[in-house]
Amino acid sequence: MTDGGVQIPGFIAGTWDIDPIHSEVAFTVGHLGVSKVHGRFETYSGTIVTDDVLGRSTVNVTIDAASVNTHFAIRDKQVRSADFLDVARFPNITFTSSAVRGEQGHYLMDGELTIRGNTRPVTLDVTVNGFSPDPSGATRALFSATTKIDRTDFGVSFNAPIPGLDNAMLLSDEVIMTFDVEAVLRTGDPG
């Protein structure tokens, strides 16, 4: 595949299933105005279609919101509650791509992200890390992507003031989401 004259080394067109054992869906949110809380989702699935025509490539991901893990059980329980993700009412977070474009080896993927039943457009900054056979004979594709969102746009608006600090809040509105993905080419896909 080429993108504006830039060749992606080892490119393989096909349909790929995300391998959750070798992937990570994570997030970072500011905390107390000076530190960060890091978390991840343990359960998710998705499909990536790579096409010789970049604009026809697609991504669809479904994340189990209840699988959030911030390495602190009490906080995880609150994040699952109606204060944040409200997983009882909105069990899934989804991303569906709408366009992929490249600019001199740099890739951007537009799509719709849905959290708490609120769907907003987002753009992911994507790195194509490569395509490779694995020891079992399967073929893998490796990608990384990041995006910044305002959590309040998705109805995740809980916050609290920090006592003694004027206009300082417990959590930042900005959340950085990161996706480090290994995906396996479907058996029988010509690749």
State residue 2's pLDDT score. 46
State CA 190 to chain mean position distance. Answer: 27
Spell out the domain ranges in the chain: 2-185
Burial (CB count <10 Å: 0-12, 13-18, 19+), residue 89: exposed
Structure confidence by residue, pLDDT tens digits, 3-47: 454 568 889 999 999 999 999 999 988 765 566 889 999 999 999
DSSP state of 84: T
Question: Given a cut of 70, is residue 158 above it in pLDDT?
Answer: no
Question: Could you tell me the pTM of the whole model?
Answer: 0.90
Of 146, 141, 139, the C-alpha closest to 178 is 146
The domain 2-185 is placed in CATH, from the list 1.10.645.10, 3.40.50.720, 3.10.180.10, 2.40.128.110, at: 2.40.128.110
